Amino acid sequence: MKELKGACVIGQSGGPTSVINASAYGVIRTALDNPNITAVFGAEHGIKGVLNDRLFDMSKEDAKELELLKYTPSSALGSCRYKMKDPDVDDTDYKRILEVFRKHDIRYFFYNGGNDSMDTCNKISKFMQRSGYECRVMGVPKTIDNDLFGTDHCPGYASAAKYIATSCMEVYQDARVYDTGMICIIEIMGRHAGWLTAAAALATEYGAGPDLIYLPETDFDIDKFLADVERVYKERGNCMVAVSEGIHYADGGFVSEAKTSATDGFGHAQLGGLAALLANVVKEKLGVKVRGIELSLLQRCGAHLASETDIEESFMAGKAAVENAAAGITDKMVAFERGEIDGHYACKTKLLNLTDVANFEKKVPLEWINAEQNFVTKEFIDYALPLIQGEPKLPKEDGLPRFARLKKELAK
């Protein structure tokens, strides 16, 4: 192990999750406790905080408030959606990052994000290597979409999955309370991968969830969909459907973007999202009561329903990033490997090359989708169920969540 003395910076990027701050806390706490790491900075709004030299001195924060990050949803340091240019085309940003790194003697860079963020992380890592500036770079994964390559699952997914499954179970109770039937369509996040929508099947597994589930891994057929819904409604007197926001027709066009169409007769000027659109189509076709529900931002910030497993693993990912970097490793992303201990689910970290993970998307395997393409198989349940276990002891103040309150003092 080669010792490297210097400061570290952690940035958060992309869409937040309920537990992304648990990873940030894993990085920050471990770094603060490491004697070789001379300063711990939090970048304001991800890489933009580095570019703008807006770095918070994390040593100024109260230790108890930092610990509350484990239970505080959304990116506490602020996030960004900033796409770095190819450094061969324009290396302005990279030079600026190097300048700021030099200024603060930053020798460790931790980037907490999803696919795009790993691409950013990878580009910075390679630029630092080419520049001969010694900086250890580690990606810390997060994404509710669960679509990062090479890892069994992604920090943040399980908590969103638990929120979705629990909410579906509750809505199921409500949506069949009257003696008149109802069709309920729930729209769930996931533009290209159906992991989140598939999580609604956990509710069904426990007796109160959707009858039908449509993922973006397969092509959506509106006539087949209407026939499915009609059949279930006739059989059971009610029907609950979970759809991914990313469902698309065979030609690739998103169903959510369907506008006027003379042929299918269900085009509408659209204000609501996909759930509202499909609800209208079903109502027109079947003439029954239909309600569309969009879980919207709630599913990715619902920290009150976080999985304790997810919180602990997210923390572990951040901690592993610092420990590995301190041990001399660089240019990697922390990933998860599923195993078993005494017949029970266990999870440990492994390291993947940043180059290998950047920009790949992992989708729900087609074998986990049923032949009718309107539900998922038991393999998915077995995969997802261990991830949502455990109830965190959420800090509360007067019955409401007590989130971390950071001072965010800028580094000198």
151 belongs to the binding site for a second copy (CB under 8 A):
no
**166 lies in the binding site for a second copy (CB under 8 A):** yes
As measured in angstroms, the least distance from the Cβ of 263 to a second copy is: 19
Q: Return d(Cα 398, Cα 412) in angstroms, integer.
A: 37
374 binds a second copy, rule: CB under 8 A: no
- Extract the tokens encoding 170: 């509750």
For residue 203, state whether it binds a second copy (rule: CB under 8 A). yes
Contact 159, 306 (CB under 8 A): yes
Binding of residue 72 to a second copy (CB under 8 A): yes
By CB under 8 A, is residue 305 in contact with a second copy?
A: yes
User: Restricting to residues 269-288, which ones interact with a second copy according to CB under 8 A?
Assistant: 269-273, 276-277, 279-280
Distance CA 207, CA 236 (A): 14
Q: By C-beta, is 159 or 374 nearer to a second copy? A: 159
Q: What is the biggest distance separating any 2 CA atoms in the chain, rounded to whole angstroms?
A: 72
> What residue has token string 């261990």?
386
> Among residues 327 and 410, whose Cβ is nearest to a second copy?
410
Q: Is 318 in the site for a second copy (CB under 8 A)?
A: no
Helix (H, G, I), strand (E, B) or coil at 349: strand
- Locate all alpha helices (DSSP H) within 218-307, ordered by sequence: 222-236, 274-286, 298-301
Q: Check if 33 is active-site.
A: no
The C-alpha R_g of the chain, in whole angstroms, comes to 23
Are 138 and 332 in contact by the 8 Å Cβ rule? The answer is yes
- Nearest approach, Cβ of residue 170 and a second copy (Å): 4
Exactly one of 43, 171, 198, 200 binds a second copy (CB under 8 A); which one? 171
Q: How far is the CB of 357 from a second copy (least distance, A)?
A: 23
- Ramachandran bin of 201, using left for φ above 0, alpha for ψ from -120 to 50, beta for the remaining angles: alpha
Is 80 a residue that touches a second copy (CB under 8 A)?
yes
Q: How far is the CB of 142 from a second copy (least distance, A)?
A: 12
Please state, in angstroms and rounded to a whole number, the distance separating the CA atoms of residues 122 and 174: 47
Residues near 156 by beta carbon (within 8 Å), at least 6 away in sequence: 17, 18, 19, 20, 142, 143, 144, 300, 310, 314
Residues 6+ apart with CB under 8 A from 406: 56, 61, 65, 66, 76
Q: Which stretch binds a second copy (CB under 8 A): 174-182, 250-258, 324-332, 372-380?
A: 174-182
Q: Does 167 bind a second copy (CB under 8 A)?
A: yes
The yes or no reply on residue 116 touching a second copy (CB under 8 A) is: no
Pick the binder of a second copy from 88, 252, 398, 412 (CB under 8 A): 398
Residue 378 near a second copy by CB under 8 A: no
Binding residues (CB under 8 A) for a second copy: these are: 16, 18, 44-45, 48, 72-75, 78-81, 162, 165-167, 169-171, 173-175, 177-179, 184, 202-203, 206-208, 268-273, 276-277, 279-280, 291-298, 300-305, 307, 385, 388-391, 396-401, 403, 405
